[in-house]
Amino acid sequence: MNKLLFVAIMFMTSVAGADYVKWDASTSDPACVDGYILYFNNLHVDVGNVTEYNLSPLDLESCTLYNLYVKAYNKAGLSEKSNEVPYVVVYDPPEQVQNVRIEKVE
Asked whether residue 3 is domain-assigned, the answer is no
Q: Mean pLDDT over residues 70-87, rounded?
A: 93
Asked whether residue 4 is domain-assigned, the answer is no
Domain count, the chain: 1
Asked whether residue 43 is domain-assigned, the answer is yes
Side chain identity at 73, as an amino acid letter? Y
> pTM here?
0.72
Which residues on adjacent β-strands are paired with residue 22? 11, 52
pLDDT on residue 28: 84
Asked whether residue 57 is domain-assigned, the answer is yes
pLDDT tens-place string over residues 60-78: 888 889 999 999 999 999 9
CA 13 to each of CA 21, 23, 64, 75, 87: distance values in angstroms, whole numbers, following the listed order: 7, 11, 18, 31, 11
pLDDT tens-place string over residues 92-102: 677 888 888 88
Asked whether residue 99 is domain-assigned, the answer is no
Please report, for the domain that includes residue 72, its CATH number. 2.60.40.10
Residue range of the domain that includes 54? 11-88
Which residues on adjacent β-strands are paired with residue 46? 37
pLDDT on residue 84: 92
Q: In the 8-state DSSP scheme, what is residue 92?
A: S
Asked whether residue 98 is domain-assigned, the answer is no
Asked whether residue 46 is domain-assigned, the answer is yes
